[in-house]
Amino acid sequence: KLEALDPRNLTSTCIATVVGVLGPRLRLRLDGSDNKNDFWRLVDSNEIHPIGHCEKNGGMLQPPLGFRMNASSWPMFLLKTLNGAEMAPSKIFKKEPPTPRSNMFQVGMKLEAVDKKNPQLICAATVGAEKGEMIHVTFDGWRGAFDYWCRYDSRDIFPVGWCAKSGHPLQPPGQKIASGASRFKTRVCGLPPTPGAGDLSPPPMPVTPTPADPVSSTTQKQPVTTTLYVNPGCWCGPYLDPRKVSQLPLQFGPATMSRVLRESVQSLVHCALDEKQIFGILRQGDGKVIITATFEGKTVTVRLPLIEKPEELSSFLEILLEELMCCEQLFSSQILNSPCTKCPNANGSLVKAEMSEAVAGSGASTSSSSTSASGATKRRCSAESSSDSPAPAPATSSPSPSPSPALVLPHSAAKQPRKPVEQEAATSTTPSEGPPKLPADPSEWTIEDVIAHISYTDPALSVHA
């Protein structure tokens, strides 16, 4: 943990976590934000400091822009975040080097520069133009879509050979003949050691072979296998389609760690209401597993972190399910033989009772069983369409036969919209009231009925109603 300036609001100092290290560059994630806003800083950047620096200088830590919880919960969130966390010691922070006195770049000079559109990459580049204190960085072998202007003292540009000396991978020049080629498909490599550089060039990545045991040498080559079980009855959150989740296989494996990781994460992408949203949540890394997604008429890929142990797989999926706002036991190492107690579906029987009271109170008791089933189906679709998911649920035009238990479960989940933890805590002491008596068909509701429904379903939203 350390303190860092919010790159989207440089007046705010926030708590950040180091989630990646690449040479002398740090990948930082602001606590309370999501992984779609990770950013990179050099270890000697003047925008990062040890914990306590802000307070010593009379400042106050602020929640990041886009804080995912209620602003009033920030002090408690800050306390829980720092309690027992590993703090970056002050001795590992370096002082930023002095700024050059003037712009001495000339057109045609070679350099290495950060790709602003893919900031984890440093690429071979050329000075295309210079004007005053600004230089135009053009990437070798790529069309002008990646080029940009920056100051001559920018921390995103480096001399030739910097990557080789610092141990940071260098992106080689692109191929101009491959029009429209994806930059992520190009092999990442390091520059060869420069003549006379001595020990400054990084040594090759050491390969640590497993000691050859004459007895178990054949078994050591066997990859670690694991099994991941799917519990489709658990709450699948606002990003996943419950109908697609119910069609998932009951387990992934037994298979190798990489295969289980690929199949499980790829299945979440396929179950998404909007693959672009899920794709933006996935953490990138340097492992062997590649996940694909299709949106906006194109197919994109992402490489997941390297996972070699079962506990690493469990930790990765736990964080992913938390960011998807799913039940933590949707994917687990054990089969749930009883209803899950850690998701909104745990109160399924209570929800069913409330629904039956609401239907009885609106006069549904005098209708036929087929009409009741149709009304329940319409209410389920309406609840799904009013969630955060971008894709509207299809409306049912024909009455369905007697409802099956499979239809009641998604309905129960849709009845309870997702609530932040602090909202649940704030409303846990609120006296419970009976459900409002509303018409069975939501299309017949008045404005007052909608307000009453919102106030009952989520008291936290009643202030807006």
Q: Identify whether 200 is part of a domain.
A: no
Higher pLDDT, 10 or 177: 10
Residues 64 and 128 in one domain: no
Q: Are 42 and 76 in contact (CB under 8 A)?
A: no
Amino acid letter at 364? A
Residues 46 and 122 in one domain: no
- Rounded-to-integer distance, Cα 156 and Cα 30, Å: 20
225-230 and 157-158: which strand pairing?
A: unpaired
Q: Identify whether 129 is part of a domain.
A: yes
Q: Provide the pLDDT confidence category of residue 164 given band limits of 50, 70 and 90.
A: very high
457 contacts: CB under 8 Å, gap ≥ 6:
415, 416, 417
Residues 7 and 62 in one domain: yes
Q: Are 284 and 120 in contact (CB under 8 A)?
A: yes
Task: Give the mean pLDDT of 374-389.
Answer: 41
Residues 132 and 42 in one domain: no
Residues 239 and 299 in one domain: yes
Encode pLDDT of 413-454 as tens digits: 344 444 443 444 444 344 445 677 788 777 778 888 888 888
Q: Provide the pLDDT confidence category of residue 462 given band limits of 50, 70 and 90.
A: low
Encode pLDDT of 68-96 as tens digits: 788 788 888 888 888 888 999 999 998 99
Q: Identify whether 254 is part of a domain.
A: yes
Most confident of 207-216, 266-275, 412-421, 456-465: 266-275
Residues 298 and 243 in one domain: yes
Encode pLDDT of 333-366 as tens digits: 888 777 787 776 554 444 444 444 444 444 443 3
> How many CB atoms lie under 10 A from the CB of residue 43?
14
Residues 113 and 71 in one domain: no
CATH classification at residue 240:
3.90.1150.190
Q: Give me the number of domains the chain comprises.
A: 3
- Does pLDDT of 206 surpass 80? no
Task: Give the mean pLDDT of 114-143.
Answer: 92
Q: Identify whether 8 is part of a domain.
A: yes
> How many CB atoms lie under 10 A from the CB of residue 96?
14
Q: What are the tokens at 425?
A: 């805590």
Residues 73 and 148 in one domain: no
Higher pLDDT, 259 or 174: 259
User: What is the pLDDT, as a whole number, of residue 154?
Assistant: 94
Domain that residue 64 falls in? 2-82
* Mean of per-residue pLDDT scores for the chain: 74
CATH classification at residue 53:
2.30.30.140
User: What is the pLDDT, as a whole number, of residue 175?
Assistant: 55
The helix (H) or strand (E) run that includes residue 374 is: helix 369-385
> How many CB atoms lie under 10 A from the CB of residue 164?
20
Helix (H, G, I), strand (E, B) or coil at 113: strand
User: What is the pLDDT, as a whole number, of residue 111?
Assistant: 95
- Rounded-to-integer distance, Cα 124 and Cα 113, Å: 7
Higher pLDDT, 30 or 463: 30
204 contacts: CB under 8 Å, gap ≥ 6:
none
Q: Identify whether 19 is part of a domain.
A: yes
**Threshold 0.85, pTM exceeds:** no
Q: Identify whether 405 is part of a domain.
A: no
Q: Identify whether 394 is part of a domain.
A: no
Q: Identify whether 383 is part of a domain.
A: no
- CA 398 from centroid of its chain's CA atoms: 39
Encode pLDDT of 294-318 as tens digits: 888 888 888 888 888 888 888 888 8
Task: Give the mean pLDDT of 260-283.
Answer: 86
